[in-house]
Amino acid sequence: MYDVITVGSATVDALVRTEFSEMVHGKHKEECIAYPVGAKILMKELILTVGGGGTNSAVSLSRLGHKVAFLGKIGSKENSKRVTNQLRKENIDTPLIIRSRTGRTGYSIVLDSKKHDRTILIFRGSNNNLRFDEIKLKKLKTKWFYFSSMIETSFKTLEKIAIYAAKNNIPIAFNISSYLAKKGKNYLKNILKKVKILVLNKEEAALLVGRGDIKDIFKKINRLGPKTIAITDGRHGVYAYENNYFYHGKSHNIEVVETTGAGDAFASSFLSGIMRKNDIEFALKLGITNAESVIQHHGAKEKLLKYNEVLKIIKKRPIKITKRKL
């Protein structure tokens, strides 16, 4: 029996750093990363690692002391071995992984971090084609499911896994993406009504139910199904809702190197806190602490913390949590 099965994407990530990119403004005044046309640009650093919301969350939960399996779809060549080898090094079970004979493992190129953010070129590969009939249901023995964002055929599979989870009384935590949030609440309704914990950022929440007072946003999302909701808001911290109570966890004023993987780190650690103590305040502290560790370094996984490490940091640098009844 697993503590949690994470369901989501797996990619091989190439983190690229150069000295020649600069910020420019596009047609709609959006900020863009620019490189000289026709130039050969030397890379200052190239790091190959394993990424994707499903694997990032699996590693986070495993380091926090949970028994974890990853369910996703990859190719069958060299990059797939990189994914499975990395997961096994992190004590994550891999028998649930589906291997495509013809498709390729997902791949992404993470370009220079500018203004503490990143631009990512993504090849989804087999991540988009996870079919429900490929999954061995007898192996889905778990106390929780954790869903990260998936699209196309794989999203339909998430819906079917949600039905399976509901029939077997297995709670679901769901960390959605801006892509899915843009699809709207009607597109997501079949999953959301079966979700116990929903984690999203402020922009995703606005895309899902519209802008407005944060408390009204919580009420609108709660009516869609989720009982526990956490909304991250960058330097402003994290807001949470459960049982008609409103919570706010204040972030520390720290230097941000880049934000890759911060959402995965928070959401998975928040779930860990719920699994361990069923306590929102503790879950917020766990999530904020692990996310802050990640954003002070390059890469989504390198500085994910172990459970004892998180507790030491929380003791050394307490996080202020406020709680009010709505």
How does DSSP assign 77-98, residue by residue?
SHHHHHHHHHHHHTTEE-TT-E
* Residue type for position 261: G
**pLDDT given for residue 293 in this prediction:** 87
Is 323 strand, coil or helix?
A: strand
Domain locations along the chain: 2-9+53-102+127-325
Is 131 strand, coil or helix?
A: coil
**pLDDT given for residue 295 in this prediction:** 72
CA–CA separation, 260 vs 262, rounded Å? 6
- How far does Cα 111 stand from its chain's mean position? 19
CA–CA separation, 82 vs 49, rounded Å? 8
Residue identified by tokens 């949600």 is 162
Question: pTM score > 0.85 for this model?
Answer: yes
**241 or 26: which leads in pLDDT:** 241
CB 208 within 8 Å of CB 183: no
pLDDT digits (tens, 9 = 90+) for 143-161: 999 999 999 999 999 999 9
CA–CA separation, 107 vs 13, rounded Å? 6
Interval 154-182 mean pLDDT: 96
The token duo for 266 is 């928070």
Q: Which helix (H) or strand (E) holds 214?
A: helix 214-223
**pLDDT given for residue 24 in this prediction:** 79
Q: Any idea which fold 2-9+53-102+127-325 has?
A: UDP-N-acetylmuramoyl-L-alanine:D-glutamate ligase (3.40.1190)
**pLDDT given for residue 63 in this prediction:** 97
CA–CA separation, 68 vs 10, rounded Å? 15
CA–CA separation, 27 vs 205, rounded Å? 26
pLDDT digits (tens, 9 = 90+) for 115-133: 556 788 888 888 999 999 9
Q: Is 85 left (phi over 0), alpha (psi -120 to 50) or beta?
A: alpha
